[in-house]
Amino acid sequence: GAVVSQHPSRVICKSGTSVKIECRSLDFQATTMFWYRQFPKKSLMLMATSNEGSKATYEQGVEKDKFLINHASLTLSTLTVTSAHPEDSSFYICSARAGGLNQPQHFGDGTRLSIL
Amino acid sequence: QQQVKQSPQSLIVQKGGISIINCAYENTAFDYFPWYQQFPGKGPALLIAIRPDVSEKKEGRFTISFNKSAKQFSLHIMDSQPGDSATYFCAARGGANNLFFGTGTRLTVIP
């Protein structure tokens, strides 16, 4: 089946650091990629949607200057958490979809971000 | 506002029993209803999905029942196994590509 690889799986860093998370579709071309945030024992909250070569569309309440998303190719999207603070600690999950709405979303294994 | 409501929050089932998780939605524009299984420290994995023109879909031990008029759908896991212990999320797809997730059900299957 379709594979989405997310890296790193875990990162711990000091407050004020910027952290980049990569999301790759390994065996298909991802026209659309999604970034989610999940708090412990909670549901997934969509942060933003990005189409290859276009600016990301952010959900209400998500700071686009804080969470920079780049979708430069059909197999790679990156999320950069700029000047991260302890409240940004969370589980970040990407997903990717090939083609149109009838295609399923495939999820990566997530990145556990811990800001000290 | 929670677009998709899911219950129960947690569920304990004996091995071999039936696990039932329920979801409800309000937006009649939703056109696709997937269920995801998530193990700790992992991303969600698509388990089974249904479209609103179908009332039931079965794949192996997993069945989705869909009631369009009631705007409800449920996941049934037959012959539940300890390996099924995970968190299950229902979801509904609306406009602009968005998937709206339920709040999750933590299933524990005891031997």
Q: Using a CB-CB distance cutoff of 8 angstroms, which residues of chain A are in contact with residue B99?
A: 34, 46, 105
CA atoms within 13 A on the CB side of B83: 2
Chain A environment of B36 (Cβ under 8 Å) = 107
* Residue stretches of chain B with pLDDT short of 70: 1, 95-97
Residue B95 φ/ψ, nearest 5 degrees: -70, 165
> pLDDT-derived band of residue A1, with 50, 70 and 90 as boundaries?
low
Look-up of token digits 């197999």: A75
* Residue-wise burial string across A95-109, b where 16 or more C-beta atoms lie within 10 A, e elsewhere: bbbbeeeeebbbbbb
Confidence of residue A100 (pLDDT cuts 50, 70, 90): confident
> How confident is the model at residue B94, as a pLDDT?
80
Whether residue B97 lies within 8 A of chain A, CB to CB, comes out as yes
B109 contacts B19 by C-beta, under 8 angstroms: yes
Q: Do B101 and A95 touch (CB under 8 A)?
A: no
Residues of B whose CB is below 8 A from A95: 43
Which of A89, A90, A77 has the alpha carbon at shortest distance from A35? A77
Structure-model confidence comparison of residues A7 and A101, the more confident one: A7
Compute the residue count for chain A.
Answer: 116
User: Which tokens hold the place of A28?
Assistant: 């298909």
As a whole number of angstroms, the distance between CA A26 and CA A2 comes to: 8
Q: Which residue has the tokens 């071999």?
A: B16
Q: Do B96 and A4 touch (CB under 8 A)?
A: no
Given an 8 Å threshold on Cβ–Cβ distance, is A43 in contact with B104? Answer: yes
The pLDDT score that the predictor gives to residue A10 is 96
User: For residue A35, what pLDDT band results from cuts at 50, 70 and 90?
Assistant: very high
pLDDT digits (tens, 9 = 90+) for A56-99: 999 999 999 999 999 889 999 999 999 999 999 999 999 999 87
**What digits encode the pLDDT tens for the residues A43-60?**
889 999 998 888 899 999
pLDDT, average across residues A9-13: 95
Given CB atoms, is A101 within the 8 Å cutoff of chain B?
Answer: yes
Q: What's the pLDDT at A22?
A: 97
Query: Could you tell me which residues are beta bridge partners of residue B91?
Result: B101
Q: Which of residues 58-87 of A touch B (CB under 8 A)?
A: none
CA distance A83 to chain B (A): 25
**CB of B49 within 8 Å of any CB in chain A?**
yes
- Which residues have C-beta within 8 Å of that of residue B69, sequence separation ≥ 6? none
Chain B residue closest in CA terms to A108: B43
Q: What is the pLDDT of residue B97?
A: 65
- Can you give the three-state secondary structure of A16-46, one letter per residue? CCCEEEEEEECCCCCCEEEEEEECCCCCEEE
C-alpha dihedral, A96 to A98 to A102 to A106, nearest 10°? -30
Structure-block tokens of residue A65: 């200057």
